[in-house]
Structure formats: C-alpha cells, structure tokens
Amino acid sequence: MSTITTVYQGDLRTQATHNASGSRIISEAPIDNHGKGEAFSPTDLLAASLGSCILTVAGIAAQTHRFSIEGARIETQKVMAENPRRVGELILDIYLPPNHYSDRERRIIEAAAATCPVGQSLNTNLKKTIRFHY
C-alpha cells in the first residue's frame, strides 16, 4: 500500500507528497478552467500516469525477456470532453528506440501496454488510442 498526502495550497494549486520517498508533485487548474497553467493539471497527471505506467510495465517485460527499451518515450495528447467535463480521449504515440525488435518482442511490448494497471483502472468510456512507432 502506498500513501500520498495532497495539500491545497490556495490559488487552485495543490502539492502531492509521496510519503515513503518525500517526492512532490505540484498541480494546478488549467487555463481553460480558471487556472494559470503553470503546472500539470490533475487531468494532465492522469495522462502522464498512463504513459509512465505503460513504459514501466513494458520495461519490466523487456527486462524479464532480456531486451531493452531504454530511451523509449511516449507523447500523450489529452482530449477533453464536456457534459460532464472529463478526459474523453488519450492519444499515446509510443516511440521505441531503433533496436530491430523481433515480432515476439513487439508482442511483449504491446501486451505490456495493454495490461498496465493504470490503463486497467480507467473507465471503459475513456477512449485510449495507442500507436507504436518502431
């Protein structure tokens, strides 16, 4: 179990602290929702969380199967929806470093992306578009 303490700092800004490590994340309301846009918004963190989870699980799978994805990156676009205001779609472009991945390694990477815990925790109404670039 992991505990995170989040404190409202005023002016539509929060600070979340990972209690075990002391690491901190600042979030703020976005410009289109009364904020200054000077930090990640809570929905930006949701998008970033999915990308981080995919790369972490893919990294574990690659390590287990003795190949590397070091240098892989994800560019995530967040598309907001209305009524109610929510994240409607996350578009993730996953860029793998040149490594001549075998078909088996590609299947391992893609299965890891499909089964990461964050993705499995999101509402099924949230559209996730995932594109792999090898």
pLDDT in tens, 63-113: 999 999 999 999 999 999 999 999 999 999 999 999 899 999 999 999 999
Give the model's pLDDT for residue 50: 98
Question: Which pLDDT score is estimated for 41?
Answer: 97
Of all residues in the chain, what percent carry a pLDDT higher than 90?
97
Contact 96, 58 (CB under 8 A): no
Statement: the pTM of the whole predicted model exceeds 0.85: yes
The tokens describing 52, both together, are: 């981080």
Instruction: Please report the pLDDT score of residue 119 as a whole number.
Output: 97
Name the CA radius of gyration of the chain, rounded: 17
- Alpha-carbon distance of 123 to 66, in angstroms, equals 33
Segment 124-130 shows an average pLDDT of 96
Q: What pLDDT sits at residue 39?
A: 96
Cis, bond preceding 117 (omega within 30 deg of 0)? no
Strand order in the sheet with 73-81: 73-81, 86-95, 127-133
Cα distance between residue 94 and residue 40, in whole Å? 21
Beta strands in the chain (DSSP E): 4-10, 13-18, 24-28, 73-81, 86-95, 127-133
